[in-house]
Amino acid sequence: MSTLKTIAVSVGDLNGIGFEIILKAHPQITQICRPVYCISRTMAERAAALLGLNLPDDFECHDVSGDFTIRPGMVDADSGRYSYQSFVAAVGLAKVGKADAITTLPIHKEAWMIAGIGYKGHTDALRDFFNHDAIMMLGCERLYVALFTEHIPLHDVASNIQVDKLVSFLMRFYQSTKADSVAVLGLNPHAGDHGVLGNEEREIEAAIDIANANIGQTVYYGPVVPDIAFTPRFREQCRYIVAMYHDQGLGPLKALYFDESINVSLGLPIIRTSVDHGTAFDIAYQGKASSISYLNAINAALVLAAHEG
């Protein structure tokens, strides 16, 4: 009887690079876990054929209904709908204990929208599925970045920076990670320059003080000037950063660690990791996709599952 952990893999948008990554990494993945791919064998064979490959003999499918033409590099409703159904199937396996964790390949947000899916992405859906306020954290062992706000317009970020909201976020982040040193970025250039360039930092500072008092030790530092937080010297001192908005955190992170970074959903009753990249329609089915982020996401899921086990 195998003692390997089972990882349910949602295949992402089949018009993108996800399935190529799955096949490239499969020989390595099966050495460390039992992957169960949430896709019908018909669709898996169709995707493999577009890559000029056959499915491995040990390729285990968990059937997801749906039959459509894969159109590499195209945004369409059929592929968007199927990626959502694959994701729901993977979550379902974890919910009933048939998978120890799930790892997700990239979906396309526009494809979800035109398919009528009422979520902007995986994390939004997971919050609704479990009624838990999940935190999106991305990165690698050298640097992790958690996002206070995620997929909202930039002009809405400032109004979302409120003391109560940020305290709740910081407490949930600490409970999930037990990190001992976390930098919290300011919103404005120069972290507001004491009100010269904005007042949001006063809210951030107050939230940091309350969170540290609740924890009983100084875990959070800031507001940190955003343009120094990703420098080598600063990263040596602190490998966890809380960013106020999506691109503030992920632009620098991806410039530094694009290939190796992953996405982890914190604060959920299941373990979910993901690649830290998109569907890359421009190179779909061309044999150019890197599997490093996917391999790291699988490994992270196994580490988390071992801690829970």
How do residues 33-62 score in pLDDT, each as one tens digit? 999 999 999 999 999 999 999 999 999 999
178: left (phi over 0), alpha (psi -120 to 50) or beta: left
Q: Which stretches within 121-242 are classed as H helix? A: 122-130, 157-160, 163-177, 200-215, 232-237
Sort 135 into a burial class: Cβ within 10 Å, 0-12 / 13-18 / 19+: buried
- The pLDDT tens digits of the residues spanning 141-151 come to 889 999 999 88
User: Which numeric CATH code is attached to 135-266?
Assistant: 3.40.718.10
Q: Look-up: residue for tokens 């919910």?
A: 95
Residue 182 pLDDT > 60:
yes
* Spatial distance between the Cα atoms of 249 and 231, rounded to a whole number of angstroms: 13
Topology, domain 1-131+268-309: Isopropylmalate Dehydrogenase (3.40.718)
- State the span(s) of the chain assigned CATH 3.40.718.10: 1-131+268-309, 135-266
Q: What percent of the chain has pLDDT over 90?
A: 83
Residue 302 pLDDT > 90:
yes
Q: What is the pTM of this model?
A: 0.85
Residue 1 pLDDT > 90:
no
DSSP state of 289: -
Amino acid at 164: D
Residue 27 pLDDT > 90:
yes
Residue 77 has a pLDDT of: 97
How many residues are listed for the chain in this entry? Answer: 309
| Average pLDDT of the residues of the chain | 94
* Spatial distance between the Cα atoms of 94 and 234, rounded to a whole number of angstroms: 38
Residue 92 pLDDT > 80:
yes
Residue 56 has a pLDDT of: 96
Residue 309 has a pLDDT of: 56
Residue 2 has a pLDDT of: 62
Residue 194 has a pLDDT of: 80
Residue 237 pLDDT > 90:
no
